[in-house]
Amino acid sequence: MKQRKNSLEERSPAFTFGSGKQGRTLFCDQLPAEQLARRYGTPLFVYSATALRRHVDLFARAFAAQQHTVCYSVKANSNLSLLRLLASLGCGFDVVSGGELQRVMQAGEKAAASAVFSGVGKTAAEMDLAIAAGILLFNLESASELDLLAQRAARLKKTARVSFRVNPDVKADTHPYISTGLRQHKFGVPINEAREFYRRAAALPYLDPIGVSVHIGSQITDTTPFAEAMQRVLSLVRDLSADGLNISFVDAGGGLGIHYQNASQAVTARDIRAYAKALCRPLRRTGLHLLIEPGRSIVAAAGVLLTRALYAKENHGKQFLIVDAAMNDLIRPALYGAHHEIVPATPRPATKDAPAMKMDIVGPICESGDFFARDREMPPVLGGDLLAILDSGAYGMSLSSNYNTRPRAAELLVDGKKVKQIRRRETFEDMIRNEQ
């Protein structure tokens, strides 16, 4: 198979065009997408182990000069096989529920020891599970959470390491639903009141305040707000040291964005280096251990959603392409107006009968919000053609649902020429299992 040469070697080797039996065709690692779709059906999520390794490696290189742990954010894609792979690459984990923590515990015997637990609403049962598992750090977000964790830890007679997630009041340019670092958001404790929270925590037995955390939002491509938030956090760490606390971890959260509009360079070494520079500069010579919680930048570009075109139709002069995937499989366009590049797996040349044209690419669900692209210029696509919705590895499957009683898609992990089904397609019986 000849891989198409890309202008920049930055391009992840995972999803590129090469020559196959029917001419130029999309490969997932070294396997033709068409072959995978025929064997496993559509809609189908396909992830590339090569791309995952590459992304983890980009982080390792960019952050090499700083003591750090990459705590992969499980919510982006929580498939057990992916978690296992990431654990084997040395990643820790960021979890936000007992369920996510249980997944991490299944992924590796020691994985929980490098897990951080974030989220504004941890329940007593979730706290108990995490205390017993001996997680690395609880990121607390309110006084009530502090009180409950103190109670639970005392009851279990086990010390819990804690940090407060501070709300730095830093603006980041992203979709309002996924911006989290402003005073009007529900997240964190106000940074200017944080010293008082730490004083309270330090006075409680079974709690060990050892970190400060921050997370300003997701899909942030400008690194300035990350640097700003870190500076504010570091200034708090200095105050806390003056108060006699021994802070050894700074958790910078996740949030680094990718370039959905430019899928051939969705994640570049340059981006990750710029991000590392923004976070690490304020940390220089502090001896602090940095935790980062990337989700999207690790898995988004390592996955595609393959979908079959069902029908083309025209309504009042507008072209629609109806595909077999829908908003229940990938809700990002419907929920955030998100852009995903969409390519035919085996592109056809444009002809007079089948020209390139603008179209809406939509799913079969009974809502006008069920679209993947609107007024998108596309090469010719006919019913039966296979399409790949790129950069769908993050917040695709993890946000999927059974809406319209549609079974959730299957998931594959490809590694070179090998393929493994890492989640089978749901059946009707799976969907009704818990109903009377």
Taking the least distance from each CB to ligand LLP, the nearer of 32 and 333 is 333
Alpha-carbon gap, residue 76 to 409, rounded angstroms: 16
Residue among 395, 406, 410, 411 that touches ligand LLP (CB under 6 A): 395
Least CB distance to ligand LLP at residue 412 (A):
21
- Asked if residue 254 binds ligand LLP (CB under 6 A), the reply is yes
Site for ligand LLP in 143-172 (CB under 6 A): none
**CB neighbour class for 91 (10 Å; exposed up to 12, middle 13-18, buried from 19):** buried
Least CB distance to ligand LLP at residue 351 (A):
37
Whole-Å CA distances, 125 to 44, 78, 100, 148, 164: 35, 21, 13, 11, 20
Q: Which stretch binds ligand LLP (CB under 6 A): 24-32, 122-130, 254-262, 342-350?
A: 254-262
Q: Which stretch binds ligand LLP (CB under 6 A): 42-50, 100-108, 250-258, 268-276?
A: 250-258
Please say whether the beta carbons of 257 and 297 come within 8 A.
yes
Least CB distance to ligand LLP at residue 245 (A):
22
Taking the least distance from each CB to ligand LLP, the nearer of 43 and 253 is 253
Taking the least distance from each CB to ligand LLP, the nearer of 35 and 398 is 398
B/e letters for 386-424, b = 16+ CB within 10 Å, e = fewer, are: bbbbbbbbbbbbbbbeeeeebbbbbbbbbbeeebeebbe
Alpha-carbon gap, residue 203 to 205, rounded angstroms: 7
Least CB distance to ligand LLP at residue 48 (A):
18
**CB neighbour class for 209 (10 Å; exposed up to 12, middle 13-18, buried from 19):** buried
SS3 content of the chain, % helix, strand, coil (to 5): 35, 25, 40
Please say whether the beta carbons of 95 and 118 come within 8 A.
yes
Taking the least distance from each CB to ligand LLP, the nearer of 294 and 344 is 294
Please say whether the beta carbons of 315 and 364 come within 8 A.
no
Least CB distance to ligand LLP at residue 240 (A):
21
Alpha-carbon gap, residue 319 to 380, rounded angstroms: 12
Options 71, 91, 280, 366, the catalytic residue: 366
**Which tokens belong to 313?**
């139709």
- Asked if residue 73 binds ligand LLP (CB under 6 A), the reply is yes
- Selection from 352, 377, 299 nearest residue 94 by Cα: 299
User: Residue 281 carries which DSSP code?
Assistant: G
91 is catalytic: no
Helices 143-156 and 194-202: crossing angle in degrees, nearest 10, is 20
Q: Are strands 115-117 and 357-362 parallel, antiparallel or unpaired?
A: unpaired
Alpha-carbon gap, residue 221 to 275, rounded angstroms: 9
Largest CA distance in the chain: 77
Give the contact letters, 208-247, x = binds to ligand LLP (CB under 6 A), - = no: -------x--xx----------------------------
Taking the least distance from each CB to ligand LLP, the nearer of 42 and 219 is 219
- Cross-strand partners of 18: 3, 25
Site for ligand LLP in 330-389 (CB under 6 A): 332, 336
Taking the least distance from each CB to ligand LLP, the nearer of 181 and 282 is 181
Q: Which residues fall within 8 angstroms of residue 355, CB to CB, at 6 or more apart?
A: 380
Residue among 92, 168, 253, 333 that touches ligand LLP (CB under 6 A): 253
- Asked if residue 328 binds ligand LLP (CB under 6 A), the reply is no
- Selection from 14, 82, 41 nearest residue 422 by Cα: 82
Residue among 29, 94, 169, 329 that touches ligand LLP (CB under 6 A): 94
Taking the least distance from each CB to ligand LLP, the nearer of 219 and 346 is 219
Taking the least distance from each CB to ligand LLP, the nearer of 87 and 330 is 330
Least CB distance to ligand LLP at residue 5 (A):
30
Q: Which stretch binds ligand LLP (CB under 6 A): 99-107, 222-230, 394-402, 410-418?
A: 394-402
Give the contact letters, 110-149, x = binds to ligand LLP (CB under 6 A), - = no: --------x-------------------------------
User: Residue 268 carries which DSSP code?
Assistant: -
Q: Which residues bind ligand LLP (CB under 6 A)?
A: 73, 76, 94, 118, 178, 215, 218-219, 253-256, 293-297, 332, 336, 394-395, 399
> Among all residues, which ones are annotated catalytic?
366
